Structures are given as C-alpha cells and as structure tokens.
Amino acid sequence: MYGMPMTIFLFVCLFVTGVSCNSVGDKIYVDFKDNIPCVRLLNATHQIGCQSSLSGDVGVLHLLESEENLDWVLSSGPDPPYMVMLESTLFTRSVMMKLKSSSNRVAGVVVVAPNTNPSAGFSPHASCPNENSGVYTEKYSPSLAHCNATVWNPLGNNLSYEEFDFPIFSLKDDNDTQAMRQCYMDHNRPVNGSKPRYPLCAMQLFSHMSAVTDTATCMRRNSIAMSLNPEFVCDPLGDVNIWALSKPLNVTEKGHKPGESVIIAAARLDSRSFFFDIAPGAESTASGLVTLLAVAHALRNATQEAQLNTTIMYTFFHGETFDYIGSSRMVFDMERNQSIIDLDNVHSVLEVGQVGLHGDTKLWLHSDPVSRRNSSIDEEVCVFFLLNFSVEEPGSSQALPPSSFQRFLRARPIPGVVIENHQSTFTNRYYQSMYDNSDYLNVSYPPGLTPEEQLDFVTDAAKVLLLTCCLQFDTRFTFHFITVMLCRGFVEQTDEVSLNLSVFFSPGNTTTNFYIGVNQQMSEPTILVQFMLANLTGSVVNTTQENCNNQKENEDDKETKHVRPTDRLMCFCVRSTCRTTKAVSPAFELEEYTSSNYSTWTESRWKSIKGRIFLVASHDLEMLTLGVGVGVLLTSLLLTFFISSKADILFNSGREPTNATY
Amino acid sequence: MNLERLPNEEKLGLCRKYYLCGFACLPFLWLVNVVWFFREAFRKPAYTEQTQMKTYVKRSALGLLFWFTVLTTWITIFQHFRAQWGAVGDYLSFTIPLGTP
C-alpha cells in the first residue's frame, strides 16, 4: 500500500531525468569533429608512423609560437608531458626530430592544416622515392643507384618514413581550432615567464595501433589462431589495377599470345601524404591518370579505323607509391603466365608521369640509359623522339624517374619512355603531401558558373596532341565527363605545347583520396576510373540492368558493366575491354614477408581514433582529493567499529525496558 | 570443513589425500595442505597420527617451495625476454598484447 505511490513517483522521476539527459561527460570533454591521424605502416624491416598508448595520451596543450619556443616543451616547461599544437609553417623536419628525441615530455602533436599551400614547398616523402624497389640497383648501374646522379625529390624531408611514439593528428583551421587556441591563451600561456596556474587546458589523443615491429611479425600474429578471440593486427596494402585494350583479346587464355604485340600505356592511380586517408595527389597522380584517360578516349575511334597490328593496353597501376605494388604484381603475373599477355608480347612501355604544367614548362621524355646501350632497344626508343613533337629529351645518361616502367625493366630490357614535366628534379614542390591539391595546379572554372554548370562545362578550344608510340595523331576533341571533368586548353605556341589541366572530382567539393588503403575494399578513385575507362573505350549496349550484370560473354574478351555515373543521371550499360586485376604485392602471394624484391607494406589495424580537449587539474589536487577520500573511509571504518563495540553502553543508557503486559 | 569434529584417522586420511594428489602437478593442493594442517600437525598436543601428518606437511612444504621457485624463475624469464624471442615467444603466448613488441 505504501509501494504503489512510491513506484509511480519513481517512474515519473526517472522519466523526467531520463528524457532531459544531462551527461556529465559532455560538460567536461569537447570531442574533435573529424579525426585525421597518422597511422602505422609496416614493411619487411621497419615500422613507420605514429603510435599512442592504449588509453590515449594526455598532455597539457601548448601552442608553439616559434622554433625557439620549443625549449618550453623540451626542458623548461613545468608541467610535462605537453601536447604540442603546430601551425603548418613549423611542421618541419627539425622541429619534429627534436620532439621525437625527447618524447617523454611530448604527449602528442597536433598540426593545423592551413587553407593555402605553404609557398616554400613541402614534401614528407623520401628524397629518392622507391629507392630500393626500382631498377637501379648496385648490380644494374652503380652510378645511378640510390639517386647518386639525380636526386628526384630534393624537397623531400622523409617525415612520412619516420617512426614516432606519440600520436600526431591534423586539424582543419576552423572555429573549433580557434577555440583551442583561445583555450591555450586563457589558461596555459605563461605570463612573464611565470608558471601557468592550474586548471590547464589539456588534450587527449587516442590512436593506438595494434601492429608492431614489421610485416613478418604482424602477419604471423594474424595467423596464430589461438585464444578465445583471434585478432587481426594488420592488413596488406592492396587494391586493383585497371586496364583496357584497344583491340579485344581473349581473357580466359592466360599466358603468351603468339603474334600479339602490345604497347602498354601506363599511369599511376595512387598517392599518399603524412596523414591517413589524405592524398589529394593532384600533380603527382591525377595529372597523369586523367591524361591517359583522355588519350584512351581520343584514340578509341582512331584505332578502330586504322586497323593497327599493335594493341594498346591502357593500364592504371595502383600502389606505385609503396614500392610499386601494382606494377610488380602485373610483371609477376606475366612471368607466371597468369596474365592476359606475356612479357614477350610487350613491345614497349609508354608511361605518363607527372604532367601538370605550370605556366610554360615543357614536357620531357625520359628513358633508361642502361637498357639503351643495347642497340635494338635504342632504335625503338629513338622512334619516340623522331615524332615531330615539341618535347625534349633530358641528358642521355640520366636515369629514369621513379615510374612503373622500372619494374618492367627489372624483368627484362624493354624499350620505353616516361613523359614528365621535369628535366631532372621534380618541379612538383608538394610531392606526395597533403598540399598537392587542385589549388596547386591552378584548376579553375570560368567565373560565374553554378555547380551544375560547372559539371557540364565543356571546353571548346581543346586540341589534343597525343603521344603514342609509332603513331601520330593530331585530333581535336571536346570532352564531357559526367563525374570527372577534364578541362584542357591547348595553346600552340611556336615550338611548345602546354597542357592546362583542370581536374575536378565529384560535385560534393570534397578532395579525392588517392590513398591505396587495405585490400578489403576498392578506393573511390578506382571505382571512378574503372567506370570512366569502360565508358570511354567501350560502346553502349541497350539492355536492362539485370541483363547487363549477368550477361554471359560469347567472346571472352569484353565485359559489360553497368555504368552509373551519378545518382541523378541516367544509367546505361557499356560493353568494353576494361578489366581489373588484383594489385596486391607478390610478397603476400608467396608469403615471403621479409622479401627485398617486392613491396611488403602493410597497414596496422586500430580500435578507436578520437581526440578530445578538456581542463585538467593539478596532480597535487588529485592526490589531495584521493587522500581525503581514503581518510574519510578509514575514519568511518574506525567509527563504525568503535560504535559497534560499545553499542550496549551507547544505546541502552537511560532507557528502561518496558515490561509489556499482555 | 571444521577439522575439530573429525576423528584423527580421518584427519590423517585427508592430509594424505592432499599430499598424494599434489603430485599430479597440483602445487596448490600442497599449499592447502600446509596451511590447513599446520596447526594440527605442529601446534596441537601429540597424538598417534600426528607423526605421519608431520611428514606429510613437511614434504608438502618442500614440494611447494620447489614449484614456487621453478614457476617464479620461468615467469620472470618469459616476461622479460618474450619480446626478444620473436616467433618463439609468439608461439608460446596465449594472449599477445597489441601494439607492443
């Protein structure tokens, strides 16, 4: 009878408080909106990237004002460890190495990504990219190995390949970041050299990586299927290579195709930066790949009409940034007769490298001097240069720049050239960094276009000058891509051809991410390029979607794909020779995880990546609170013991037991 | 179980059972034997079964000491050197910690 109203009262209370939920956590912590961490990658010998502790690293926030101010973090600051907040101008090798060397006082680093690119150039990649996986080894050519003759990426500070044992995150420069700077100014800033008083603004970063040491260790730990829940700690990097033929070949028969002569026109599909999943790669990747797509489209009708006896294979290799994953896999498959053609079928290789042009830079055709010592190869290569183009040849004893063609040369000497926009060192100042974006290439629409109009923008004055081996075409085309906009304007000057490339990806105004990622899923550019290539080299077929996906081939040489460019445009079925093959390093096929011949890059797994900012009290206050609590506990225990032992005296005094008479 | 209520023969029988079963790689039984029967064997006034009980308790204590040193040594070595042993260390481990060597 007492119970009923009480329960109703309790329910009402719970309902009211449950609905208007006031979480204590929300009042203390402010979480980061987007998390852009640096993650751990492993190869046969090393681990690179960043690691945090399992329960996050906490540090007092410190906004670094200059490199001299580092002294506060490294030695004189009274409240280590510090969480260092860097503006992008201070994100240099010297600052990071100093922070790395005293990592007991550094809890983590946060880099504020600017809205404009730094003018001095920045490249966290190596100065000699893919040094040990190209063709220039000590045996092949000691004078050209290890970039002895030409350092390709002189701005490279190798930061991407260093190992840090604290987390490093990147923040966009927006209101939240400004709030963090304000938090530092209000609480943490030392005034006149005096010690800042508690409570201080602190930050906690979680990016604990599961894999450790090297690829062999983490693959072994993946496969130890013991204990209650087997854990995967890392995954090999991989994706797919995309290729299309100008003339259909039988795909089910693998290995050597007698009588076929194939020219491989190659470009790369991937890029990277210091941070995870950020790889705009505009000049290093997108320029070459879009050029090759344009070539494929432009040559579609021409090759069918001309009835050539050489086939052109437009190939897009993925994973070239990480020791040539895609091209090494394709060469490996060709050597094992697992690919559609054989290395004997390959007539030559033409690769489109970084071709983004700034102002009036020229195009250069690079070739390999060592293989050209053989006169037959030299003859083939010279054919390229006889074509009446305004491109130049750099010094004849210069090595090939880092390119997929090097992996073909590793297998056997094949004639080939690589088209680049630099004569010796890269002109790209932001090679494989987060600043290699469309701003750098000066992509721009004509002013005053709405996003829809921009998407439908077509250049009129597009004159395509195409370089293909042994063929010379001079064609005018206009391009209209539904999801990829290629805007080309050609200005033919006296002896120069300049390409102005504008590359736009996806109308949502987000930057494309060219990072290869792990094997489980295809990256967004891969899907995009695959459908684009199918659309550009194939022909439309009039069937329904189900028929399109299920069609059994009469000829095993073409594949139908249902191309669905964007949600609001019509979908249609395309029949083309475009196909994909797996691009996972042969080291993982052969299970040679310490291989020095193939790429062994893997990416670690992680549980959670987040960051948050809050006010933290001094250590003394925490200890005092704990001490007081323990004291209260002990006092109450003593008191209870004392009272219970003297209970009869305390509670029976002055009370006569009444004799109840019933 | 209250040993007070048992007759002496049964106490001896219990002590013997614990002593013998401890040989099956069960040092914890020996620990129980020592702790439980210590007062019975050494502090109570003498009775006939007590001499036999004393030998059992002493031998249990010896066996316990032996196991303790062996296990402590092995655990110290393993925890210290597991990271350096590479593959062998991983195959010996039941749970491998994430993110640390």
Three-state SS at A304? helix
Closest CB to B90 among A209, A211, A224: A224
A51 Cβ under 8 Å from any chain B Cβ: yes
Please state the rounded mean pLDDT for residues A277-301: 83
Higher local confidence (pLDDT), A389 or A120 = A120
Specify the pLDDT at position A212.
93
Axis crossing angle, helix A524-537 with helix A287-306, rounded to the nearest 10 = 20
Q: Listing from the earlier edge strand, what are the strands of the sheet with A572-576?
A: A539-541, A572-576, A559-563
DSSP state of A123: B
* The pLDDT value given to residue A373: 80
Average pLDDT for residues A376-386, to the nearest whole number?
Answer: 65
Query: Are the C-beta atoms of residues A327 and A134 closer than 8 Å to each other?
Result: no
- CA separation (Å) from A525 to A164, A171, A279, A286, A570? 30, 24, 11, 10, 21
pLDDT at A635 exceeding the cut of 90: yes
Q: Backbone dihedral region of A393: left (phi > 0), alpha (psi from -120 to 50 degrees) or beta?
A: beta
pLDDT over threshold 60, residue A387: no
Q: Which residue of B has its CA nearest to A54?
A: B99
Q: Residue B24 belongs to what H/E stretch?
A: none
Task: Identify the pLDDT of residue B96.
Answer: 87
φ, ψ (nearest 5 deg) of residue A164: -120, 140
| Model confidence band, residue A382 (pLDDT cutoffs 50, 70, 90) | low
- pLDDT at residue A307 in the model: 66
Q: Which of A338, A318, A390 is closest to A360 using CA atoms?
A: A390
User: Are the Cβ atoms of A217 and B86 closer than 8 angstroms?
Assistant: yes
Judged by average pLDDT, the poorest of A91-95, A146-150, A389-393, A495-499 is A495-499
Q: In this model, does residue A475 exceed pLDDT 60? A: no
Dump pLDDT digits (tens) for B27-70. Answer: 999 999 999 999 888 888 888 888 899 999 999 999 999 999 99
Q: Taking residues A130-153, what's their average pLDDT?
A: 92
Q: Do A224 and B91 touch (CB under 8 A)?
A: yes
> CB contact, 8 Å: A231 with chain B?
yes
Contacts from A503-509 at CB under 8 Å and sequence distance 24+? A503/A282, A503/A286, A503/A287, A503/A290, A503/A438, A503/A441, A503/A443, A504/A438, A504/A443, A504/A454, A505/A286, A507/A451, A507/A454, A507/A455, A507/A483, A507/A566, A509/A451
Tell whether the model's pLDDT for residue A640 goes beyond 90: yes
The pLDDT value given to residue A292: 85
Contact B98 A51 (CB under 8 A): no
Confidence band of A449 (pLDDT split at 50, 70, 90): low
pLDDT at A533 over 80: yes
Contact A352, A266 (CB under 8 A): yes
Comparing CB atoms, the residue among B94, B99, B101 nearest residue A226 is B94
Contact B90/A217, CB-based, under 8 Å?
yes
Q: Is A650 exposed, middle or buried (0-12, 13-18, 19+ CB in 10 A)?
A: exposed
- Reported as a single tens digit per residue, the pLDDT across A622-632 is 999 999 999 99
pLDDT of residue A626: 97
Distance from the A99 Cα atom to the nearest Cα atom in chain B, whole angstroms:
21
Q: Which of A370-374, A460-464, B68-72 has the highest mean pLDDT?
A: B68-72
Distance between CA atoms of A285 and A528, rounded to whole angstroms?
14
B99 vs A212, A220, A226: nearest CB = A212
Q: How large is the average pLDDT for residues A238-261? A: 89
Count CB-CB contacts under 10 A for residue A156.
23
Highest-confidence range of A27-41, A280-294, A369-383, by mean pLDDT?
Answer: A27-41
Under an 8 A CB cutoff, do B95 and A209 touch?
Answer: no
**Has residue A2 got a pLDDT over 50?**
yes
Nearest Cα to Cα of residue A377 among A401, A404, A408: A408
- Residues of B within 8 A of A56 (CB-CB) are none
Alpha-carbon span A7 to A13, nearest angstrom:
10
- The encoded tokens of residue A452 equal 């829809």
Between CA A244 and CA A315 the distance in angstroms is 7
Helix (H) or strand (E) holding B88, with range, is helix B87-92
Cα–Cα distances in Å, from A382 out to A161, A273, A404, A605? 38, 36, 20, 48
pLDDT of residue B1: 78
Q: Which is more confident, A316 or A80?
A: A316
Q: How many contacts (CB atoms, under 8 Å) link A and B?
A: 29
Q: Label residue A557 by pLDDT band (50, 70, 90).
A: low
* pLDDT tens, residue by residue, A567-608: 445 677 788 888 899 999 999 999 999 999 999 999 999 999
Average pLDDT of chain A is 80
* Cα-Cα-Cα-Cα dihedral sign, residues A604, A605, A607, A611: positive
Q: Write the pLDDT tens digit of every residue in A396-441.
A: 788 999 999 999 999 999 988 898 888 899 999 999 999 988 777 6
Strands A416-420 and A234-236: unpaired
CA distance A227 to chain B (A): 6
pTM for the full predicted model: 0.83
* A361-370, A488-497, A501-510, B83-92 — most confident range: B83-92
Is the confidence at residue A388, as pLDDT, over 50? Answer: no
DSSP type of residue B83 = G
Q: Is the pLDDT of residue A272 over 90?
A: yes
Predicted confidence at residue A507, as pLDDT, reads: 34
Decide the pairing of beta strands A36-37 and A168-172. Answer: antiparallel
Q: Which of A145-159, A466-480, B43-57 has the lowest mean pLDDT?
A: A466-480
The residue type at A396 = S
